[in-house]
Amino acid sequence: MKKFVCGVLVGVLLTAGGSAFAASTGLVGKKVQGVYAIMKDGKKLADAAVIDGAAYAPVRAVAEASGAVLTVEGRSIKMAEATIVNSSPDDSNKESKADLEKKLTIQKNLESLFEASLANLEGGLPSLEAGAAVGNERSKATLESVKAEIEKTKDSLVKFQAEIQRLEEALKLLDQ
């Protein structure tokens, strides 16, 4: 009888542990509600899955479209910032209006992707904070990682917004 009780107890612990882990993984097991096409210059690059109203795009496709450098280290994907060229008005006059409009569209698309990413990261904070509050070490580590990623995303957004402003000013100069 003791062996039977021990077996049931081990089974319950293993099942409960797996459920707790599954609850902390975020998107794993969630239903894909739709698919968006990621387009660049009229060509389809990849598909983005829509989960809980947010679009999740393949990182490699977004990195290649933005010209960013993508590296994978362990369980981290690192994307180096897109090169932003600060130029004088004389340099921007050398660029054609069509080129500036394309660059502006790309920057605005990247800005919206980073804003969506930021919203997704911030949306996961309450569950991570709750897990960290009860002493879950994995949640604590993930929480710190997510907070750092939020700061990097905010910094990137500021740079994208500055580049968008520069491109809009260059277009205004060309229109004069």
Provide the CA 3 distance to its chain's centre, in angstroms: 49
How far apart are alpha carbons 174 and 89 in whole angstroms? Answer: 10
State the amino acid at position 146 in one-letter form.
V
**For the chain, which residues make up each domain, given as ranges?**
1-28, 31-80, 82-176
pLDDT of residue 146: 87
What's phi and psi for 75, nearest 5 deg?
A: -105, 20
How far apart are alpha carbons 49 and 31 in whole angstroms? Answer: 10
* For residues 79-105, average pLDDT: 68
For residue range 104-143, what is the model confidence (pLDDT) as tens digits?
999 999 888 889 888 888 888 888 888 888 888 888 888 8
pTM, to two decimals: 0.45
